[in-house]
């Protein structure tokens, strides 16, 4: 249960102790939250003491009386407003004129609770200000996350698309000026390289679309009973040409009748991402062992390679978006840094889990468990 810190600023001991007593065992819940909010109260009899508390550790909510010895509540509110704290302020006062109310509202006060108030009135006001604070924080968080995603999106586009576009443009200029000959055969290697670059850009765009759909919750899903044996063998066929190019041997052990309710496209993405990575990050003449079988109430998927492996320090970064492990061995391997992040998110859609075990120079093993039910 999350606690909100409430600072009660009032020169009347009865008000301070009364608020603390009312909130001591009080909690509130929202329909869209798993945990309730409870409250921890802090007391200050003057504005000066309250300011010291705020400077040390700003509370979540401040209940502020206007008539105080020394600095007045409205003046303290003005100071708090300039500090731009992530705090909600509610005035509790018997002497609220219209001028004070307007000024307090302009300075960011959420509302007023007139004294004397009943426990029910206080609880109702606390519930409202807590929900207001929670929604304000969630809105800001979503905006910040949105900005970060947009920034990452633009950074990846500028970095990952600029290089292949420059290369393709360079090849086209050479062909336009016929720098290496008059025959089309003279340019076949450049055409092949351009097509590889275009394929890489297409993969990047498709990965980013998959990620955007997953995170926005707008990805349409078709959940049907499916035999994973068929999808697993199809994934092997898909990755075979890449394995042949890299001189990597594919070994498989796939059980029959592995029926589970899934979205075929999602499982294909999981299989293809793991198998293609196992081939790409393998050694010459290496091998990949692909196993799919029942394990109690789960389907267990294991992809084990004899590749370059991942250091213990880099393992935590493996499933981060736009993250690529950069070493001398991975420098020339194309990738978007999104494949494993998307794979993990798709596994979690089925309440499954994914584990990785790796040793540099020896290889990497990914293990996925998908509940059958």
Report how far residue 118's alpha carbon sits from residue 116's, in angstroms, rounded to the nearest whole number: 7
Range of weakest confidence among 93-107, 302-316, 351-365? 93-107
- Where are the domains positioned within the chain? 2-117, 146-219, 222-373
Residue 305 has pLDDT above 90, yes or no: yes
Q: Return the H-helix or E-strand segment holding 168.
A: helix 162-176
Q: Say if CB 247 and CB 284 are below 8 A apart.
A: yes
Residues whose CB is less than 8 angstroms from the CB of residue 25 and which lie 6 or more positions away in sequence, other chains included:
none
Residue 8 has pLDDT above 70, yes or no: yes
Bigger pLDDT: 335 vs 312: 312
Residue 260 has pLDDT above 80, yes or no: yes
Mean pLDDT for the stretch of residues 306-327 = 73
The pLDDT mean for the chain works out to 82
- Give the pLDDT confidence score for residue 1 in this predicted structure: 62
- Give the pLDDT confidence score for residue 139 in this predicted structure: 72
- Give the pLDDT confidence score for residue 368 in this predicted structure: 93
Residue 366 has pLDDT above 60, yes or no: yes
Distances (CA, A) of 131 to 23, 28, 58, 265, 307: 16, 9, 18, 40, 52
Distances (CA, A) of 287 to 62, 154, 251, 349: 63, 36, 7, 30
Sheet holding 353-359, edge to edge: 249-254, 287-295, 298-305, 363-371, 353-359
- For the packed helices 264-280 and 339-349, what is the interaxial angle rounded to 10 degrees? 140
Three-state secondary-structure class, residue 186? helix
pLDDT tens for each residue of 16-46: 999 999 998 888 876 555 567 889 999 999 9
Bigger pLDDT: 51 vs 165: 51
Mean pLDDT for the stretch of residues 65-74 = 88
- Closest by CA position to 41, among listed 53, 29, 51: 53
Count CB-CB contacts under 10 A for residue 243: 21
Confidence of residue 10 (pLDDT cuts 50, 70, 90): very high
Report how far residue 12's alpha carbon sits from residue 44's, in angstroms, rounded to the nearest whole number: 10
Confidence of residue 337 (pLDDT cuts 50, 70, 90): low
Residue 332 has pLDDT above 60, yes or no: no
- The pairing of strands 88-93 and 61-64 is parallel
Confidence of residue 145 (pLDDT cuts 50, 70, 90): low
Three-state secondary-structure class, residue 268? helix
Three-state secondary-structure class, residue 82? helix
Report how far residue 69's alpha carbon sits from residue 72's, in angstroms, rounded to the nearest whole number: 7
- Residue range 146-219, CATH number: 1.10.287
Phi and psi of 109, rounded to 5°?
-65, 135
Mean pLDDT for the stretch of residues 178-203 = 81
pLDDT tens for each residue of 200-248: 677 666 666 666 666 555 556 778 888 899 899 988 888 888 888 889 9
pTM metric for this prediction: 0.47
pLDDT tens for each residue of 97-129: 677 777 878 888 888 888 888 888 888 888 888
- Closest by CA position to 61, among listed 33, 101, 28: 28
Say which DSSP state 184 is in.
G
Q: Which CATH number fits domain 222-373: 3.30.70.1880, 3.30.565.10, 3.30.1330.200, 3.40.50.2300?
A: 3.30.565.10
Q: Domain 2-117 has what CATH class?
A: alpha beta
pLDDT tens for each residue of 276-301: 889 988 888 999 999 999 988 899 99
Q: Say if CB 341 and CB 320 are below 8 A apart.
A: yes
Three-state secondary-structure class, residue 313? coil
């Amino acid at each position: 249960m999350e606690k909100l810190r409430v600072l009660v600023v009032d020169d009347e001991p009865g008000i301070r102790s009364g608020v603390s007593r009312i909130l001591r065992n009080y909690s509130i819940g929202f329909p869209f939250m798993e945990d309730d909010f409870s409250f921890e109260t802090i007391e200050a009899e003057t504005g000066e003491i309250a300011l010291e508390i705020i400077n040390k550790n700003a509370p979540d909510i401040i209940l502020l009386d206007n008539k105080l010895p020394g600095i007045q509540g409205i003046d303290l509110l003005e100071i708090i407003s300039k500090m731009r704290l992530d705090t909600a302020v509610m005035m509790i006062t018997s002497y609220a004129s219209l001028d004070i109310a307007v000024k307090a509202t302009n300075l960011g006060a959420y509302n007023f609770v007139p004294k004397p108030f009943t426990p029910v009135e206080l609880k109702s006001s606390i519930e409202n200000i807590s929900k207001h604070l929670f929604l304000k924080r969630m809105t800001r968080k979503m905006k910040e996350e949105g900005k970060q995603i947009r920034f990452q999106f633009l950074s990846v586009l500028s970095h990952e698309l600029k290089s292949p576009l420059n290369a393709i443009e360079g090849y086209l200029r050479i062909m336009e000026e016929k720098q290496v000959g008059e025959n089309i055969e003279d340019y076949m290697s450049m055409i092949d390289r351009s097509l590889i670059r275009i394929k890489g850009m297409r993969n990047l765009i498709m990965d980013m679309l998959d990620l955007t759909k997953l995170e926005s919750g707008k990805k349409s899903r078709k959940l049907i009973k499916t035999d994973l044996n068929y999808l697993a063998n199809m994934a092997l066929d898909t990755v075979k040409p890449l394995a042949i190019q890299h001189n990597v041997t594919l070994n498989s052990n796939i059980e029959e009748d592995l029926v589970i309710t899934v979205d075929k496209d999602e499982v294909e993405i999981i299989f293809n991402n793991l198998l293609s990575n196992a081939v790409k990050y393998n050694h010459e003449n290496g091998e990949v062992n692909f196993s799919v079988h029942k394990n109690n109430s789960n389907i267990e998927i294991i992809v084990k390679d004899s590749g370059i492996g991942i250091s213990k320090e880099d393992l935590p970064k493996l499933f981060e978006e736009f993250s690529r492990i950069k070493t001398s061995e991975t420098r020339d391997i194309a990738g978007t840094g999104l494949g494993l992040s998307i794979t993990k998110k798709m596994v979690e859609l089925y309440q499954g889990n994914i584990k990785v075990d790796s040793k540099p120079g020896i290889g990497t093993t990914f293990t996925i468990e998908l509940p059958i039910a």
